[in-house]
Amino acid sequence: MYALLLATARTDLIDTFYQSSLHKPDLSVQIILVYSELMKDILVKRSSAGLGLFANKLFKKGDEITEYIGETITTDEGNRRGGKYLFELNGNWMIDGKDRSNIARYANHSCRPNASPVLSDDETQVKIFAKKTITVGEEITINYGPEYFNMVIQPAGCLCEKCTAKK
């Protein structure tokens, strides 16, 4: 199994395989776990800004990557709850994407993003689309917008590729 993963150049999955072997010694269970990772379009992995979202297949410009899912709540309720996974739909409504099933919540901010969130015409849904070609292993990033950037990202220092590139 290690050799197979090395052959596919997915050394990150060797880590997954190793971690699963610690808890689930049954080889068939481990193979299913690794195979299910290989089949996913996007993966959550460590990035420069905590966990991040990564491409596990090639996305072309305009391809839909994923949807930002969660409970739709009023802006007042969102302000009461707080948290870093609130997505503003309009002046009245937000999506609280804190649930782990919302894999889109792991998309980090970039000042030169390769993906963008798009609001449906009825302002109830948000989907993330590729802005350009995104290759396997590339981190998928979006622009959080000036409000979130100025209040949260900038004060602590933006860790995106553009801002951390050596000048």
Give yes or no for residue 109 binding ligand SAM (CB under 6 A).
yes
Give yes or no for residue 104 binding ligand SAM (CB under 6 A).
no
DSSP structure string for 89-130: -SSSEEEE--STT-GGGGPEE-SS-SEEEEE-TTSS-EEEEE
Range in contact with ligand SAM (rule: CB under 6 A) among 11-19, 32-40, 54-62, 106-114: 106-114
For residue 11, which amino acid is it? T
105 binds, among ligand SAM, Zn ion, none (CB under 5 to 8 A by kind): ligand SAM
In terms of Cα–Cα distance, which of 78, 157, 88 is closest to 119?
Answer: 88
Give yes or no for residue 159 binding ligand SAM (CB under 6 A).
yes
Which residues ranging from 46 to 75 are in contact with Zn ion (CB under 5 A)?
none
Give yes or no for residue 145 binding ligand SAM (CB under 6 A).
no
For residue 162, which amino acid is it? K
CB neighbour list of residue 26: distance below 8 Å, 6 or more residues apart: none
Distance, in Å, from the CA atom of 97 to the CA atom of 87, rounded to the nearest integer, reads 7
Size of the site for ligand SAM (CB under 6 A): 15
The residue from 108, 114, 130, 139 that contacts ligand SAM (CB under 6 A) is 108
Taking the CA atoms of 17, 19, 25 and 29 in sequence, report the sign of the dihedral they define: negative
Which residues ranging from 80 to 139 are in contact with Zn ion (CB under 5 A)?
111
Give yes or no for residue 30 binding ligand SAM (CB under 6 A).
no
In terms of Cα–Cα distance, which of 86, 143, 148 is closest to 117?
Answer: 143
Residues forming contacts to ligand SAM in the complex (CB under 6 A) are 49-52, 84-85, 105-106, 108-109, 152-153, 158-160
Site residues, Zn ion (CB under 5 A): 111, 158, 160, 163
